Structure 1
Amino acid sequence: MFDLFQQWRRLAAAGVSMQATGVEALKTMSGAGDVIVARGAIMSEAARSPLAADHGELGRMVPEKVAAASRAGSDAATLIWDNQSLWQRHMRHLGVMVMRCRPPTFSEWLDLAERNAALMVGSVEASAKIGSASLAPFSRQVKANARRLAAQPPGRARRARAKSH
């Protein structure tokens, strides 16, 4: 049975989820800035003294981005596919209604209205999940990098920068 309040509750929850994803995106961007500054110093130090460079950190830079992008793409594609499957089922149902070669009954109209409302709410929820799932791998990696780089002992480049300010 169609429950208008349940539909509104689900829409509101999807909106809150989208806002939380926005806040997480801001935190990720801020953390990424910190990681870029720390890694810039590591790269600068590596350019000055290649043998003393932090090759472990230098070797992480590209593979972690590829892994995060792969995970984000895979998660987003799965959610998009699930949402498209809902739409395909709905379109098959509409096709069956049309092929009956008669006007729909009142109960069929009510069923169709309920299906349409459920599909729309489901699409909004899927959109919220896609954004969150796409951001999550990058957010996790940025947080891990920021923690690890903050815990490292300062290198020559960081000491030199601190003394010059």
Structure 2
Amino acid sequence: MREGPLETHMIDPFIAWSRMMAAGIDMQATWMRGAETLQASHSVIGARTGMMRDAALFPFKTDYEELGRMVPEKVEAFASSAQTVMRETLAMQGAWATQMQRIGLMMVSGRMPTFAETTTLATQTANYSLGVMTARARLGKGALSPVHRAATGNARRLGKTKKK
């Protein structure tokens, strides 16, 4: 997770609003890509099911190259997706640990925090919260991207071969 450069200064409400809006737009775009992925998957499954049926009926006229792509492309797409999820999750865990250290240090200081310390912690907490929101948007986008790319690419390629 990335925190803003003004981590210890008062948070700028316009920057905070801008970051929230950007994260919301990213999440909406990810939702749209998810819908595209489902639609592409539907057409790919239909095309490949027909290919498997034809392979059973006419084994010498089958496109084994296309059938051979099915498993490796899924392994590659889901492995890439898992790497993104792991990377973003570790970054969020690191940011959470840092935030908990800040709170813990304030708790064990043995005194009431000063106004400046409280303001700094409030700003750090707001930046942490905004960072969590943007990191979650990146996580969803990054996790879906390789699967979306594979599914829509297959749908385009199989749609072209079907029209021939």
Q: State whether TM-score is above 0.5.
A: yes
Between the two proteins, the alignment pairs up a number of residues equal to 155
Name which one, 1 or 2, has greater alpha-carbon Rg. 1
Gaps spanning 5+ residues in structure 1: where? 156-165
Percent sequence identity is 37
1:8 and 1:105 mapped to 2: Cα distance?
A: 28
Matched, 1:73 2:96: no
One-letter amino acid of the structure 2 residue matched with residue 132 of structure 1: K
Q: Deviations over 1:15-63 (max 9, x none)?
A: 1110110011111111111111111111111010112211101111111
Of 20, 27, 31, the match for 1:11: 20
Structure 1's consecutive aligned runs of 4 or more residues displaced over 6 angstroms after TM superposition are none
Q: Which residue in the other structure is 1:51 paired with?
A: 60
Matched, 1:83 2:102: no
Q: Deviations over 1:59-89 (max 9, x none)?
A: 1111111111111011111001101111111
Q: Counterparts in 2 of 1:113-152, with a 5 A limit? A: 113-152=122-161
Q: Which residue in the other structure is 2:39 paired with?
A: 30
Structure 1 residue 98 displacement after superposition: 2.0
Gaps spanning 5+ residues in structure 2: where? 1-8
1:74 and 1:111 mapped to 2: Cα distance?
A: 34
Structure 1 residue 151 displacement after superposition: 2.1
2:98 and 2:117 mapped to 1: Cα distance?
A: 16
Q: Aligned pair in 2 of structure 1 residues 42, 5: CA closer, same or farther (>3 Å)?
A: same
Structure 1 residue 154 displacement after superposition: 5.7
Matched, 1:98 2:101: no
Q: Deviations over 1:136-160 (max 9, x none)?
A: 01100012111211222668xxxxx
Structure 1 residue matching 2:98: 3-state secondary structure: helix
Q: Which residue in the other structure is 1:161 paired with?
A: none
TM-score by length of 1: 0.89
1:145 and 1:153 mapped to 2: Cα distance?
A: 12
TM-score by length of 2: 0.90
1:64 and 1:17 mapped to 2: Cα distance?
A: 26
2:78 touches 2:147 (CA, 8 Å); kept in 1? yes
2:36 touches 2:152 (CA, 8 Å); kept in 1? no
